[in-house]
Amino acid sequence: MTFEGSYLGANDRISPRAIMECKICWTTYDPAEGDDYRQVLPGTPFVALPDDWKCPGCDAPKAQFMVREDPGSDEMRRAAVIGQKTQALVADFREVFNAKMRDVPIVNHALHVEAVGFRSHGPDILGVLVSPWFMNLVLLPGDTEWPALKAGEKEVIAFPSGEYEFIHNSREMVGPYKACSLFSPMADFNSQMQAVDVARAVMGELFKDENREETDRAAEIRAAREAELAPPPEPAELPVPDLRPSRRALLTGGLSSGTSE
């Protein structure tokens, strides 16, 4: 007989930080402490205990333990969601390539569809999608459902390095997504590795505020000065910042060779 919450060897359902409890004698196993009795070092996750490890209190086998508390389970669940979403995204665009793009002259056959650096971004998931015909920053819903997105609608999203224009879209497998074009077409890339390196660099540079364009900063200062000098401010007359992605600034240090636009 089992009851809900029993571990029963399901290593993929508990995180390395899980604190486990014997369901017979309530002895706990805390990875931070290890197990003196059987000389298990502190820092050893429950899943890494030898198969013949037994409860220090009552000799019950490992499978009789249940999760008491798992501080790492949210991270695990999150990682699983990111994995599923990015797989669906890649599957969707492989399908587009096979169905529509394969024979189009602009495609770079040295490249293939690959999701790079996808990670949590607030409640959403952010990464770079590399393909034979474009490289886009892509935002996907993570924890929260998005309201239906209208294909083609534009949205400006701020990052530490500046503001970027994303276009709303939706596909069968991945569902709604927002994409910001970084490169298209991809003729300047010599290899998948080079494209992936640039994609990784984008994910780093995006979050550096020193990449914010000087012109934007100047416009902000000018706007602030004008607001000071001529109250009441007329928002309509303030300079409109240039919202185009500053790819060159974004990629400073990220491009070593051969991909100048």
Backbone angles phi, psi at 6, to 5 degrees: -65, 145
**Residue 60 makes contact with Fe ion by CB under 5 A:** yes
Could you tell me how many residues make up the chain?
261
Q: How far is the CB of 62 from Fe ion (least distance, A)?
A: 11
**Residue 25 makes contact with Fe ion by CB under 5 A:** yes
**Residue 57 makes contact with Fe ion by CB under 5 A:** yes
Please pick, from the candidates 55, 66, 67, 174, the single residue that binds Fe ion as defined by CB under 5 A: 55
Other C-beta atoms closer than 10 Å to the C-beta of 178 total 24
Segment contacting Fe ion (CB under 5 A): 1-9, 51-59, 112-120, 228-236? Answer: 51-59
Would you say 27 or 73 has its CB closer to Fe ion? 27
Would you say 24 or 80 has its CB closer to Fe ion? 24
Segment contacting Fe ion (CB under 5 A): 57-65, 129-137, 168-176, 222-230? Answer: 57-65
Q: What is the DSSP string of 117-134?
A: EEEEETTEEEEEEE-SS-
Residue 240: DSSP 8-state? P
Would you say 27 or 252 has its CB closer to Fe ion? 27
Please pick, from the candidates 6, 27, 120, 192, the single residue that binds Fe ion as defined by CB under 5 A: 27
Q: Kindly list the strands in the beta sheet with 124-130, ordered across the sheet, starting from the edge strand earlier in the chain.
A: 114-121, 124-130, 135-141, 175-183, 162-171, 154-159
What's the CA gap between 88 and 92, in Å, rounded? 6
Interior CA angle at 253 toward 248 and 257, to 5°? 85
**Residue 22 makes contact with Fe ion by CB under 5 A:** yes
Q: Rule CB under 5 A: which residues touch Fe ion?
A: 22, 24-25, 27, 55, 57-58, 60
